[in-house]
């Protein structure tokens, strides 16, 4: 399907991928290859089913929760994700995005940093097995940061949750 995203699954009403009840959209594809990754099946960019932005938005609006993008790593296909986050934000939903890229890698990349205009919170960084900590909320290893995008950009200083 032209301009479609490969969607592994859409889970509505979840509480584990960010604050409050959320619709989590799992997008296929990741090349970070973190040791101990919880879901290596998600690395395949062809896994899941193709859905276009309109089809995904139908689900988002039907469920009417704030939204989390995860995977896989949505930023590996940022060009396709941009129209989706724009559509979600235009409907007024809060957006969290999980990514294995670090904040510094994102802001240094003209391509990746485009997403910051639309996303409220970035949960960033590779999963590091040696730093795994099951007591952490919304992240798997202690190197990962939950970054408030707007506040961080305004202050030019990383603001975490």
Q: How far apart are CA 101 and CA 145, in angstroms?
A: 11
Residue 87 · residue 53 · CB < 8 Å: yes
Residue 15 tokens read as 């509480």
For residue 19, the tally of other CB atoms under 10 A from its CB is: 15
Site for ligand SF4 in 54-73 (CB under 6 A): 71-73
- Binding flag, residue 32, ligand SF4 (CB under 6 A): yes
Smallest separation (angstroms) from ligand SF4 to the CB of 78:
14
Smallest separation (angstroms) from ligand SF4 to the CB of 115:
15
Biggest CA–CA distance in the chain, Å, is 41
For residue 2, the tally of other CB atoms under 10 A from its CB is: 5
- Binding flag, residue 96, ligand SF4 (CB under 6 A): no
Nearer to ligand SF4, 52 or 141 (CB): 141
Q: Which residue is nearest to ligand SF4 (CB)?
A: 100
Smallest separation (angstroms) from ligand SF4 to the CB of 99:
7
List strands edge to edge, sheet with 121-124: 49-51, 5-14, 22-27, 66-71, 95-98, 121-124, 145-148
- Binding flag, residue 124, ligand SF4 (CB under 6 A): no
- Binding flag, residue 33, ligand SF4 (CB under 6 A): yes
**What is the residue whose two structure tokens read 């970070």?**
32
Q: How many residues bind ligand SF4 (CB under 6 A)?
A: 13
Interface pick for ligand SF4 out of 19, 37, 112, 153 (rule CB under 6 A) = 37
Residues in contact with ligand SF4 by CB under 6 A are: 30, 32-34, 37, 39, 42, 71-73, 100, 126-127
């Amino acid at each position: 399907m032209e301009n479609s995203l490969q969607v592994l699954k859409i889970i509505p009403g979840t509480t584990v991928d960010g604050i409050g009840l959320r619709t989590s959209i799992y997008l296929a594809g990741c090349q970070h290859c973190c040791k101990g990754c919880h879901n290596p099946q998600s690395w395949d960019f062809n896994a899941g089913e193709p859905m276009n932005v309109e089809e995904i938005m139908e689900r988002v609006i039907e469920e009417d929760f704030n939204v989390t993008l995860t995977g896989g790593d949505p930023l590996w296909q940022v060009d396709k994700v941009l129209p989706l986050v724009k559509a979600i934000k235009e409907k007024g939903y809060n957006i969290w995005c999980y990514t294995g890229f670090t904040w510094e890698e994102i802001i240094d990349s003209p391509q990746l940093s485009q997403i910051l205009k639309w996303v409220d919170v970035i949960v960033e960084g590779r999963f590091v097995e040696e730093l795994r900590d099951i007591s952490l909320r919304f992240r798997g290893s202690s190197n990962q940061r939950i970054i408030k995008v707007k506040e961080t950009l305004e202050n030019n200083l990383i603001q975490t949750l």
